[in-house]
C-alpha cells in the first residue's frame, strides 16, 4: 500500500541508513491500521478513503517516537481518523 520511497518522502528522509527500519515500520503501521479499522486483512485497506493517510500517520508516529511512543494516544487518534471506515464489530 505504501512504498519505501513514499514513506521516505513523507518522513523527509533522504538517506538510506534507516531503510530496513522504515520498511519494518510500514509493515507494522499497516497491520495497526488494519486492526484499528477492523479489516479482515491489509488488502481491505486499499478500498478505504483514509487508510493511506492513517498508515502514513502511524508510520511517522512510530518513526519519530521510537523510544517513547504512547500507543494509547496513537490508537485514540487512529480511531478518530478511521471512524467512518471502522467496522462495527468482527
For the segment 52-84, what is each residue's pLDDT rounded down to a tens digit? 999 999 999 999 999 998 999 999 999 999 988
CA distance 40 to 56: 20
pLDDT of residue 89: 66
Summarize the chain as % helix, strand, coil (round to 5): 65, 0, 35
| Position 88 pLDDT exceeds 60 | yes
pLDDT digit string, tens, across residues 4-36: 999 999 999 999 999 999 999 999 999 999 999
Say whether 52 sits in a helix, a strand or coil: helix
Angle at 30 (CA atoms; ends 8, 66), nearest 5 degrees: 60
| Position 90 pLDDT exceeds 60 | no
CA distance 41 to 36: 11
- Through-space distance between the first and last CA atoms of the chain, rounded to whole angstroms: 23
Spell out the domain ranges in the chain: 4-81
Amino acid at each position: 500500500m505504501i512504498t519505501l520511497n513514499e514513506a521516505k518522502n513523507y518522513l523527509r528522509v533522504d538517506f538510506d541508513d534507516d531503510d530496513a527500519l522504515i520498511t519494518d515500520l510500514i509493515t507494522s503501521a499497516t497491520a495497526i491500521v488494519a486492526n484499528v479499522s477492523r479489516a479482515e486483512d491489509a488488502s481491505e485497506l486499499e478500498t478505504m478513503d483514509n487508510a493511506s493517510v492513517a498508515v502514513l500517520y502511524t508510520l511517522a508516529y512510530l518513526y519519530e517516537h521510537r523510544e517513547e511512543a504512547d500507543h494509547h494516544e496513537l490508537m485514540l487518534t487512529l480511531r478518530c481518523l478511521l471512524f467512518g471506515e471502522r467496522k462495527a464489530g468482527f
